[in-house]
Amino acid sequence: MARILIIDDDAALRDAIAEAITDLGHIPVQAATGQAGLTALETGIDAVLLDLRMPGLDGMEVLRRIRAAKNPPQVAILTAVPTAANTIEAMRLGALDHLAKPIGRDALAALLARLLPRAASPAPTATASEPEDLVGSSPAMREVQKAIGMLADSTATVLITGETGTGKEIVARAIHRHGARARAPFIAVNCAAIPTELLESQLFGHARGAFTGAVADRRGAFQDADHGTLFLDEIGDMDLAMQAKLLRVLQDRLVHPVGGKPVAVDVRIVAATHRDLPRAVAEGKFREDLYYRLGVVPIALPALRDRPADIVPLAEHFLALAGGAKRLSPDAAAALLAHPWPGNVRELRNAMERAAALVRQDLVTSADLAFLRPAATPAGQQEGTLPAAIAQLEAEMIRRALDAAAGNRAEAARKLGITRQLLYDKMKRLGLE
């Protein structure tokens, strides 16, 4: 039997969680403010469920203070407004998990099972939160955000995989910006865009006179990124000879400028590719030892079509970035949901920039997005209001999840990233029982 502290200014939610905790055989302790929660910790607490938005001390500051204490209990964040920024920062500060309210009884039981047996770890040093850039609250993207928060302060090499246009460089920049190297340089090199004969000099630099045209010493990307992060994009396109040279640098932390003397560097490597590296290794096109050296921490980015819940928020975000006050009509949102987005987030951003530039009125309609129709579901299948379009999309996703789970509703709910009770409610509302 464990003592679980609930810190939340919503009394009704506290009571509901406390009742569920009692049913699960534990003792709930309630606190309506951050300060009251810190005081309650002195009574002996085994785990903490913490809200973020509260009067007085906010949840992030409470988390910092809890994790700074000696032998702190594990903390899980429960928030009604999950964002990329607060997810990353909370995980970075040592939260065990970051979940969206409301949380069902089964999900709470699973969370407590993870909170209670784990040993506490020292709190990392906090930095100020940064601007939002990883837009998306789908389960897949929230896992990516959590991963960024947990590894931001480490020096582990990261390999980001995903289709072209999924936002691999955005993730790499987030890892750098939220980590201990944030004030040092972030240098990005596209390995596919630089001819092989020039890539060595671009990465490692060269000495004066090393080859025809080398009229002066030149620092390479590794030296430019010293104490910071070097992002090697499209690493899967690097030829085998350069792979061997890169592997040597990763092992020795010494760069060898062309025609020059070795130079020690302190660089964190984040690599990315849209290629299937295990397949390339099997085909002899990519070194197996380099693959394992790069993939210490893998992050797989989902395609946009696999996270439809993020499509409309992303579109609105890109419209806002383009300036003005344009917004989407319900039929425009439905058209966006119907499109398969083969170009992923990059294609969506380009579409919204086009709409922002060419649409004169404040409301973007489906007619303004006619250029998407050749690849989209026929417009007649998505007519009507936005709620109707979303309901159609939900119904289709639930059917697919149930088919994939052979009718097992608990497994289907897990695949959809929702509670079993919420799945039951949606099936009843959508007439899928």
Residue 385, CB-side half-sphere exposure with 13 Å CA sphere: 3
- Considering the domain architecture, whether residues 80 and 102 belong to the same structural domain is answered as yes
- Please name the amino acid found at residue 249: V
- Considering the domain architecture, whether residues 285 and 245 belong to the same structural domain is answered as yes
* Residue among 118, 74, 122 at smallest CA distance from 98: 74
DSSP string covering 377-432: PPGGGG-S-HHHHHHHHHHHHHHHHHHHTTT-HHHHHHHHTS-HHHHHHHHHHHT-
Q: What is the pLDDT of residue 373?
A: 62
Which CATH number fits the domain that encloses residue 411?
1.10.10
- Considering the domain architecture, whether residues 86 and 202 belong to the same structural domain is answered as no
Q: What is the pLDDT of residue 107?
A: 84
- Considering the domain architecture, whether residues 131 and 191 belong to the same structural domain is answered as no
- Considering the domain architecture, whether residues 354 and 333 belong to the same structural domain is answered as yes
Kindly state whether residue 148 falls inside one of the protein's structural domains: no
Kindly state whether residue 46 falls inside one of the protein's structural domains: yes
pLDDT along the chain (433 residues), means of 10: 91 91 90 92 91 91 91 91 87 89 84 68 33 73 91 91 94 92 92 88 85 77 93 95 94 89 93 95 95 94 90 90 84 89 93 90 88 53 57 78 83 80 82 75
Kindly state whether residue 144 falls inside one of the protein's structural domains: no
Kindly state whether residue 31 falls inside one of the protein's structural domains: yes
Please identify, among 278, 300, 322, the residue that sits at the C-terminal boundary of a domain.
300
- Considering the domain architecture, whether residues 319 and 361 belong to the same structural domain is answered as yes
* Residues of the domain holding 14: 3-138
- Considering the domain architecture, whether residues 417 and 373 belong to the same structural domain is answered as no
In sequence order, which residues have a C-beta less than 8 Å from that of residue 195 and are 6 or more positions away?
A: none
Consecutive H or E run containing 75? strand 74-79
Consecutive H or E run containing 5? strand 3-7
- Considering the domain architecture, whether residues 252 and 365 belong to the same structural domain is answered as no
Please identify, among 113, 138, 163, the residue that sits at the C-terminal boundary of a domain.
138
Which CATH number fits the domain that encloses residue 10?
3.40.50.2300
Instruction: Name beta bridge partners: 298.
Output: 159
Copy the structure tokens of residue 383.
Answer: 């007519």
- Considering the domain architecture, whether residues 13 and 126 belong to the same structural domain is answered as yes
Kindly state whether residue 146 falls inside one of the protein's structural domains: no
Please identify, among 104, 138, 172, the residue that sits at the C-terminal boundary of a domain.
138
Kindly state whether residue 105 falls inside one of the protein's structural domains: yes
- Whether the full predicted model's pTM is greater than 0.85, yes or no, is no
- Considering the domain architecture, whether residues 313 and 375 belong to the same structural domain is answered as yes
- Considering the domain architecture, whether residues 337 and 393 belong to the same structural domain is answered as no
Gap between the Cα atoms of 83 and 87, Å rounded: 6
The number of distinct structural domains making up the chain is 4
Kindly state whether residue 134 falls inside one of the protein's structural domains: yes
Kindly state whether residue 147 falls inside one of the protein's structural domains: no
- Considering the domain architecture, whether residues 164 and 274 belong to the same structural domain is answered as yes
Which CATH number fits the domain that encloses residue 273?
3.40.50.300
Q: What is the pLDDT of residue 385?
A: 57
* Residue among 276, 252, 274, 254 at smallest CA distance from 264: 254
Which CATH number fits the domain that encloses residue 358?
1.10.8.60
